[in-house]
Amino acid sequence: MIRIEQRILSPTAINTYLSCPRTFYPRYIKRQSFRPSIHLIRGLIVHDTLYQFHRNNPEISEQMSISEVRRRLLEIFNRLWGKAMPRITSLGLSEQDIRYFHDDSEQAYPAAARNAEKAAEAFRA
């Protein structure tokens, strides 16, 4: 008798299966670990930044400007990036590449700040 586990698949897992079932099988069925990439590490940092920001600022104050939201997001992001540096440097990227990925990630926060301001406006309305 074959026992099939019920699983909830993430959008990433589904896209992996659709693009390459041979990649999907070891990663999601056999649960073999894989070497992290800069994209994975950076994505984890960005998601953790947004989580910590919203956890620590559950109600964005009417007085909190977009520049203050951005400042707080960047402060969290840079702290988490620093903590992740040993993992990032272990990838073997050049300092120039690391700087590029850091700076590129920082560019996401002006949009996040604007979205937070829109959410606060909607909440106040």
Could you tell me the mean pLDDT of each successive run of 10 residues in the chain, 125 residues long? 68 85 83 83 91 81 76 92 96 95 84 65 60
Does one domain contain both 77 and 91?
yes
Specify the pTM: 0.66
Does one domain contain both 71 and 45?
yes
Structure tokens at 118: 């829109």
Does one domain contain both 16 and 53?
no
The whole-angstrom separation of Cα 119 and Cα 111 is 12
The pLDDT, as a whole number, for residue 119 is 65
The pLDDT, as a whole number, for residue 69 is 82
Does one domain contain both 93 and 111?
yes
Does one domain contain both 27 and 71?
no
Does one domain contain both 50 and 13?
no
The pLDDT, as a whole number, for residue 3 is 62
Does one domain contain both 28 and 46?
no
The pLDDT, as a whole number, for residue 32 is 79
The pLDDT, as a whole number, for residue 30 is 82
The structural domain count of the chain equals: 2
CA dihedral 83, 86, 88, 93 (to 10 degrees): 140
Does one domain contain both 79 and 58?
yes
Q: Taking the CA of residue 118 as centre, how many other CA atoms within 13 Å lie in the half-sphere pointing to its CB?
A: 6
Structural domain range at position 88: 38-124
Does one domain contain both 71 and 44?
yes
